[in-house]
Amino acid sequence: MRPGLVVLLCVFSCALRSECAPPTCYSRALELSREIMTLLDRVHTSHRTKTCAEVLPTIFIDVHNACITNKLRDFLYVVLNHPSQSCREKPRMKVLKGKIQNLYNIITRICYRDLVFFTDDCEAIDTGHSRPYVAEDRLQILQEER
């Protein structure tokens, strides 16, 4: 086999393994929100952390919701000041705290100009159910009146 062909194959195999572009603020915020939701599910279902999760408020992270900064701040406060010292020291709770701090910093400091909020439905973050956008309802009413 020719050495040039081997080098070319090595370059292409390395290029396929690496990501083509670094993550943007938006993509990192989306990825981190998914990771946090998965981790929260594990915290709520694991027998080791189920008692710790009883204190945590319900949160459904949506980086497109303008209320996310306030809700993340409140959630982070609860995690940092958990009533049980043993819960604060559990590895899963430490990872959760770190990821929430990271997402909060990304949204409020690093990407605050890049993120676009489509809604300000604070109830959707608490319940996971978003109500229809008010402007769409008004548009439908205007069309029905004509």
Q: Which residue has the higher pLDDT, 131 or 101?
A: 101
In a domain, 33, yes or no: yes
Which 8-state DSSP code applies to residue 106? Answer: I
* pLDDT band with cut points at 50, 70 and 90 for residue 40: very high
SS3 state of residue 46: coil
What's the pTM value of the predicted model, to 2 decimals? 0.71
Handedness of CA 36, 42, 45, 48 (dihedral sign): negative
> If we measure between CA atoms, which residue out of 26, 118, 108 comes closest to residue 70?
108
pLDDT confidence of residue 44 = 92
In a domain, 14, yes or no: no
In a domain, 136, yes or no: no
Residue 62 to residues 58, 77, 93, 112, Cα–Cα distance (Å): 13, 19, 21, 15
Domain count, the chain: 1
Q: Which domain holds residue 30?
A: 23-118
Strand partners, 65: 119
In a domain, 65, yes or no: yes
In a domain, 66, yes or no: yes
Residue 118 tokens, joined:
């489509």
**pLDDT exceeds cutoff 90 at 6:** no
In a domain, 130, yes or no: no
Percent of the chain with pLDDT over 70: 71
In a domain, 95, yes or no: yes
Tens-place pLDDT, residues 106-135? 888 887 777 777 777 777 777 766 665 555
In a domain, 103, yes or no: yes
Burial 100-129 (b: 16+ CB within 10 A, else e): bebbbebbeeebeeebeeebebeebbeeee
Q: What's the CA gap between 46 and 92, in Å, rounded?
A: 10
Strand partners, 3: none
Percent of the chain with pLDDT over 90: 34
Q: What's the CA gap between 123 and 105, in Å, rounded?
A: 22
